Amino acid sequence: MDRLIERCCGLDVHKTSIAACVRIPGPEGERVQHVRTFGTTTVQLLALRDWLEAHGVTHVAMESTGVYWKPVYYLLEDRFECLLVNAAHLKHVPGRKTDVQDCVWIAQVLEHGLLRGSFVPPPLIRDLRDLTRYRASLGEERSRQANRLHKFLQDAGLKLSSVASDILGVSGRAMLEALVHGTTDPAVLADLARGKLRRKLPALREALAGHFRAHHGFLVGQLLAHLDFLDESLETLNGRIDEMLAPFADRLDRIPGFSRHTAEDVVAEIGLDMAVFPSDGHLASWAGLCPGQNESAGKRRSGRTRKGNRWLRRTLVHAAHAASRTKDCAFAARYRRLARRSEKKAIVAVAHALLVTVYHMLTRGTPYQELGANYYTRQNLDRLRRRAIQTLESQGYRVTLERVA
């Protein structure tokens, strides 16, 4: 097998240790390998970098093991050509079940050019990705705390959520604050309603009659304080993200189904430079939004989607649900056409179409242009004409077509 890389290194990264194998040419043309173990502290990582430079290493490969690869990759990426390899793609041969043998195998495969590096975004996009993912986690935590608040109100016999659509709105929040401070009179609480909710005063008085005790007041007070903290943190994060990505998100949030947050989340996951993905198909495959390939003996089996970037996939699926309800939209028409067979597959297909649209917008630097709900129909006029003729002929009609002047 041809050797493509003369001086390379394979790393087997763990939480507290790194097994490194360097393979370089020997004095008589043979291959010589040096194996050494380092720690994962910054001092040890700097020693690893100096050791690799002393051997003239040009390429370094490592498996994507949890988050332990990140400090190693970030410290070495400026000096070497680093490859982050999917562990599922790097199959271990039988017998190589130790750290040293793992790093040796990675180095041997690397020197023959058999490894394909995963996409690692530049530092700016990595920082943005940390912010958007943290924002998503805080949003999920806020939803959990709001659900827990509903639970405590039900436990106290208060049916506020049955009357008010949002118990954390202006009216609902005023009633909850009054409950925390000891007010339990249903009439007094109902009188705190504002706006359209005042039309439901009789229902509110009935819903707010319960057995709210000091125990419930303490817990609700803690939950409200936690929700205030989460709201403040989310507002701070939104401001930080907006500063980093303002000119780019404005272009993407015009896509049907996309909000400002959706556009920010998508850019944080795929970056702005689409040159790292040879085509929109490669991007869709990386995101896990394209049909799988499973064919044997001429028969196609289940084409379920492969695993991909779960953060990007979740964001695009949410956007696809919103786009499927948009009027006069090509994505909504695509959903309705495919939903006859499977609604879930139709949503994934729309998410795939949204990602392809983002890819071409970022590649060409062009704004979004709506194709219209009849786009697919215009592209397949001949097929629609043949189907209509076949349907009529199957019912015993003889069809003659004459074009209108």
Task: Using pLDDT thresholds of 50, 70 and 90, give the confidence band for residue 1.
Answer: low
One domain, residues 236 and 281: no
One-letter identity of residue 33: Q
Question: 38 pairs with which residues across the strands?
Answer: 18
One domain, residues 107 and 160: no
One domain, residues 64 and 129: no
pLDDT digits (tens, 9 = 90+) for 170-222: 999 999 999 999 999 999 999 999 999 999 999 999 999 989 999 999 999 99
In the chain, the number of structural domains is: 3
Is 118 domain-assigned?
A: no
Edge-to-edge strand ranges of the sheet holding 81-85: 31-39, 17-25, 8-13, 59-63, 81-85
pLDDT digits (tens, 9 = 90+) for 6-63: 899 999 999 999 999 999 998 887 889 999 999 999 999 999 999 999 999 999 999 8
Residue 239 exposed, middle or buried by CB count within 10 Å (0-12, 13-18, 19+): exposed
Is 331 domain-assigned?
A: yes
pLDDT digits (tens, 9 = 90+) for 321-370: 999 999 888 999 999 988 988 899 999 999 999 999 999 999 998 888 88
Task: Please give the Cα distance from 190 to 7 (Å, whole number).
Answer: 76
pLDDT digits (tens, 9 = 90+) for 88-111: 776 655 445 565 678 888 898 888
Is 166 domain-assigned?
A: yes
Is 91 domain-assigned?
A: yes
The mean pLDDT of the chain is: 89
Helices then strands, each counted (H, E), the chain:
16, 7
User: Of 111, 137, 170, which residue sits at a domain end?
Assistant: 111
What is the predicted pLDDT for the residue at 249?
64
Is 343 domain-assigned?
A: yes
What is the predicted pLDDT for the residue at 219?
95
Q: The whole model's pTM is what?
A: 0.83
One domain, residues 150 and 243: yes
Nearest to 187 by CA among 200, 173, 202: 202
Is 3 domain-assigned?
A: no
One domain, residues 161 and 102: no
What is the predicted pLDDT for the residue at 36?
94
Which residues touch 108 (CB under 8 Å, ≥6 apart)?
A: 10, 23
What is the predicted pLDDT for the residue at 297?
64
3-state SS class at 322: helix
One domain, residues 68 and 128: no
User: Of 56, 84, 111, which residue sits at a domain end?
Assistant: 111
Task: Assess contact for 332 and 324: CB atoms under 8 A.
Answer: yes
One domain, residues 62 and 15: yes
What is the predicted pLDDT for the residue at 78?
92
What is the predicted pLDDT for the residue at 98?
60
One domain, residues 144 and 200: yes
One domain, residues 236 and 151: yes
One domain, residues 242 and 265: no
What is the predicted pLDDT for the residue at 146?
95
Tally of CB atoms within 10 A around 105: 19
What is the predicted pLDDT for the residue at 100?
67
3-state SS class at 17: strand
299 or 45: which leads in pLDDT: 45
Q: Show the domain range for 287.
A: 249-295+303-364
Residue 65 exposed, middle or buried by CB count within 10 Å (0-12, 13-18, 19+): middle
One domain, residues 244 and 270: no
User: Of 111, 136, 166, which residue sits at a domain end?
Assistant: 111
Is 395 domain-assigned?
A: no
Domain with residue 40: its CATH number is 3.30.420.140
Is 372 domain-assigned?
A: no
The percent of residues in the chain predicted with pLDDT above 90, rounded, is: 61
One domain, residues 107 and 133: no
